[in-house]
Structure 1
């Protein structure tokens, strides 16, 4: 292992350990340690940015992972250092300076913006609400409900169940609540939504019958079907409700300070994501070969199904659309009002949610 790789691995391990030990306070404390590390010289390079996500491996973040593997960032002189927290909401870490870029739901970022926090989105890479809801097959069979059942019937099937999510405010928690409201249920009183940290813990909790189901992205949902007696209630990649069929779900957020200080790095990051998305669609065989090695632990048959299900979640380029933004706003407005909070402010526009300078420059570079 080279000195550079040892430094990168140490940084990633400390970020993950700090997050698991208490979130932002611990993550902030790591800043001094990172600053003390000797960094390798990068001739004519842009240096590095740190990217943070909630779980280590998921189809949701795979565009970034694939871009790293295929050197799409490196081609612009940028190194992307990656870490995960196993928490559903991570803006405290972003605002505290523990990372330059946060991957996650645009809706989460909008909520933080409404609290006057200095965060903004710079791109969008997944336009399907690709967190899936699985429940025990025996429960689904008893209720006579399947993935193909009407939306209201699937929402009603969640009544009385203990469902694992990534925590309040996270995309999976919001989706479960949205589905229950379609059936006229009160998510606070008609089900038990339980925070569970990480995909492995979700599967273990189902195997031990500590939860009746969960909401999380693939491949965790696929593995639960293989190992934990689960079945899809909502497969959001292949059979989303019509209201959520074009729904930006994973974007990249940064702070205003990063906008000011790391413009060239952000342009290079957007360029790398654009190249990764382009290659996913133009060369799916290569993406599949890489994915097979990245998502270990699935049988060939299950991997093939998982791959086919998830390829459609990726945008063809990372530029957000007005239609997608409007879908986010309508979903968030309902979610906020359902818990007694003010809805989305009047006059909130795509231009307030996103700073498009970097992704637009990247796309111009690519032609």
Structure 2
């Protein structure tokens, strides 16, 4: 399989660059591991986003003036500044739900897909991201626990050029196995070996009886959504896997079709797949338990409001994604309104599905499997979210 990274030039859509992706390179950033202080760590983290912006990816934005936790405050970190994947937290903050829970939340973004090193080094109190990224470091005995969930759809979507789908005789409504077979021989963009998009493409190829290492070309692309679209436009890719709105743009303007829209038509086994969680260090668990309960309360209120008052969430989203064209926003909203959990409480089944993907990733990268003793309680500390739900 070809895994040479593509460094496609970014393109500009409607005067603005957009990227809803959360998933990135799976390797831990060694520069951050070497940072000697919390302040140096945060500067290094944000500097990576600055490089990505210079390359044409979505700008790495500091969403608040300080990421240092203070009395009554928690800092959070995510991969990108704005995405439907993080919107529950942003909605809770904008609508005052955290404040009603007795908390102020400071948010920052890095433009990197994997940020567990920053969490371990103390650059943030809470990290948003995929469970498998946390589980990967937990089995190495790193002191991280997940405390609540937000998104329970595998919200990275697979799109391919329409002529290729037509040639294979498949549409989005086709049987998942047939759609998996349609990927044979295609050049498919991912955000890195072992990251969420890479794992999903491998999963659906196996549904079609294909060997991902022999029957396709998974191409790592740096630069997020703009780079993916540019690579497809320049005929460097036949398709890619990334979240909305980049996948929506590919369909609307770049001659692509959805093969798997994971929020509206996922493979049945992934209809309830925990994809975005909040994680903390064990030190934060010990020292800031009351604040973590308040954080879980704010998230729970946001998730409930998204389900009960979707019109308000839509109005907020329209303002939040300022500059997104109306047609694209309407498509993007429909494709994402159902990705959020009803409550932030994870289940044993969520853990088991993530374990399946983690084991596949470890096999792919020739790493030992998780210990047999590794269980739900090793991944999660539910004290705070359960206290929040009781309140």
- TM-score under structure 1 length normalisation: 0.84
2:55 paired residue number: none
Indicate which of 24, 31, 36 corresponds to 2:38.
Answer: 31
1:281 aligns with 2:287: no
Deviations 1:154-183 (A, max 9, x none): 222222222222222221111111112222
Q: Distance in 2 between matches of 1:205 and 1:260?
A: 46
SS in 1 for 2:337: helix
Show the 5 A alignment for 1:157-236.
157-189=182-214, 190-236=216-262
Change (3 A) 1:294 1:242: same
Contact in 2 for aligned 1:123/1:270 (Cα 8 Å)? yes
Q: Tell me whether 225-234 or 323-332 shows the greater mean CA deviation.
A: 323-332
Change (3 A) 1:102 1:34: closer
Deviations 1:31-56 (A, max 9, x none): 336999x98xx9xx844322122222
Consecutive unaligned residues of structure 1, counting only runs of 5 or more, are 1-18
Q: Distance in 1 between matches of 2:146 and 2:286?
A: 14
Q: Tell me whether 200-209 or 338-347 shows the greater mean CA deviation.
A: 338-347
Contact in 2 for aligned 1:223/1:298 (Cα 8 Å)? no
1:346 paired residue number: 372
Show the 5 A alignment for 1:101-180.
101-180=126-205
Q: Distance in 2 between matches of 1:110 and 1:254?
A: 12
Indicate the RMSD between aligned Cα atoms, in angstroms.
2.7
Aligned length: 341
SS in 2 for 1:313: coil
Q: Distance in 2 between matches of 1:226 and 1:270?
A: 37
Deviation at 1:113, TM superposition (A): 0.9
Q: Tell me whether 91-100 or 195-204 shows the greater mean CA deviation.
A: 195-204
1:363 aligns with 2:389: yes
Consecutive unaligned residues of structure 2, counting only runs of 5 or more, are 1-24, 44-64
SS in 1 for 2:97: coil
Indicate which of 44, 52, 65 corresponds to 2:90.
Answer: 65
Change (3 A) 1:160 1:30: farther
Contact in 2 for aligned 1:162/1:212 (Cα 8 Å)? yes
Deviation at 1:245, TM superposition (A): 0.9
SS in 1 for 2:122: coil
Q: Which has the higher helix share?
A: 1
1:254 paired residue number: 280
Deviation at 1:244, TM superposition (A): 0.7
Change (3 A) 1:34 1:239: closer
1:323 aligns with 2:330: no
Contact in 1 for aligned 2:150/2:341 (Cα 8 Å)? yes
Deviations 1:331-362 (A, max 9, x none): 33344345544434323322111001111111
Deviations 1:206-236 (A, max 9, x none): 2333322221111221122222222111100
Deviation at 1:297, TM superposition (A): 4.4
